[in-house]
Structure 1
Amino acid sequence: MIQSIVHIALVVDDYDEAIAFYTKKLHFTLVEDTYQPEQDKRWVVVSPPGSVGTTILLAKASKPEQEPFVGNQAGGRVFLFLNTDDFWRDYNDMVERGVEFVRKPAEQDYGTVAVFKDLYGNLWDLLQLNEDHPIAKRMK
């Protein structure tokens, strides 16, 4: 059996500002932006540069009960983990582009990591896994 997670939905306040943040500050690729008139919404998908795995579906909060989750999808915990092949290149670029880091870079047993906020306040790890990490081995 082969299965994979294709999208992770990220609740956002505004499609265009979310697209701008992910494509301009994080260099993500805009994979799809399709208007769905029957539902009066857009299907917006972004992906990290060079990634062939899971993508992010930018889902605009469309009901009042969804609005409190914008920026708080994981209750204040790190929600998403962005692995890179060059931590310092990406960290320095993100700082230069105004991305807010809330935890400084640190060397851990599993690799190098720092925590940043997206435009709504969701926490992300920017990390570079050590070559011997089980996930890094799977990505080769």
Structure 2
Amino acid sequence: MQQELIHIALVVNDYDEAITFYTKKLGFELLEDTCLPDENKRWVVIAPPGSKGASILLARANNDEQRQFVGNQSGGRVFLFLHTQNFDKDYTNMISNGIEFVREPSEQDYGTVAVFKDLYGNLWDLLELTPGHSMAARIKAMCE
């Protein structure tokens, strides 16, 4: 049986402010924005341009319990990993779009990485893997 991870839910305060941040500042594509009137919710899906991997479901926090996790879904650790094929270009674009980096770029055995915050404070890795890394081949296969 083959299975695929297709969405990762990201709890947000507001659909529209999250859509604006991810599409205007990070350049993601808005794949779907459908009202669910019976539930007073929207089904909002975003992804990096051209991505064939998992997408992000923007899920608005509906109560105090959910709101306490906005911006801290992983207990202060890096939550999401954004792979790029051109680290320098994307890093420069993100800086010019006002993205806050909390760890500057560094070279690691697995590639080049820097840590940034999204609009709520969730931590992300911007990552370009070295060509020989095991995940690099997997990502390349997904994109073909």
SS at match of 1:21: helix
Alignment RMSD, CA only? 0.5
Distance across 2 between alignment mates of 1:22 and 1:88: 19
Q: 1:23 maps to which residue?
A: 23
Structure 1 residues 48-99: Cα deviation after superposition (integer angstroms, max 9, x where no partner) = 1110110000000011110000000001000000000100000000000000
1:43 is paired with a residue of what secondary structure? Answer: strand
* Structure 1 position 139, deviation (Å): 2.0
Q: What SS does the aligned partner of 1:139 have? A: helix
Count of residue pairs the alignment pairs up: 140
Residue 55 (structure 2) aligns with: 55
Higher percent of residues as helix: 2
Q: CA deviation at 1:17?
A: 0.4
Moved over 3 A (4+): none
List gaps (5 residues or longer) in structure 2.
Answer: none
Q: Shift in Å at residue 2 of structure 1?
A: 1.1
Distance 2:113 2:107 in 1: 7
Q: Compute the TM-score of the two structures, normalised by the length of structure 2.
A: 0.96
**How far did 1:138 drift?**
1.2
Write the deviation string for residues 14-71 of structure 1: whole angstroms up to 9, x where unpaired.
Answer: 0000000000011000000000001010000000111011000000001111000000
Task: Verify: 1:99 aligned to 2:99, yes or no.
Answer: yes
One-letter amino acid of the structure 2 residue matched with residue 81 of structure 1: F
User: For residues 2 and 135 of structure 1, what CA distance do their matches in structure 2 show?
Assistant: 19
The aligned residue for residue 134 of structure 2 is 134
Q: Which residue of 2 aligns with 1:7?
A: 7
For structure 1, the 5+ residue unaligned runs are none
